Amino acid sequence: MEHVYSKPAGASSLAIWSEQSPVLKAVGWSVSGFNFARTVFPDGIAIYTPSDKARQFTCSYRYFEMLLSLKMTTHIVTNQTSPGLVDCKNECFEFVIGDITMGRQQ
């Protein structure tokens, strides 16, 4: 399961999410929003995982690789904690979508 945060009123983040959400749902990922607000939206897509060993990491890393192949500003951060990750008992990961710049990788 993954939780998605998209930058409010961010045209590029909304566009990317509208393209990506059908793909993730088609491959059987459980996608949801969150009860917890986020106030910081780094540029690009940040993927936060609670571990660097669990199934959540493997899934999120494959998605990270796909985004890199599209030359999106993307980074993955492991061993994280947040109210959302705690709420899902660390059995999910978070995608935080900020402003998107194509053609630049981090």
* Position 40 confidence tier, pLDDT thresholds 50, 70, 90: confident
* Position 63 confidence tier, pLDDT thresholds 50, 70, 90: confident
Task: Report pTM.
Answer: 0.78
What's residue 17's pLDDT?
Answer: 82
What's residue 79's pLDDT?
Answer: 92
Assign 77 to helix, strand or coil. strand
Q: Return d(Cα 104, Cα 12) in angstroms, integer.
A: 15
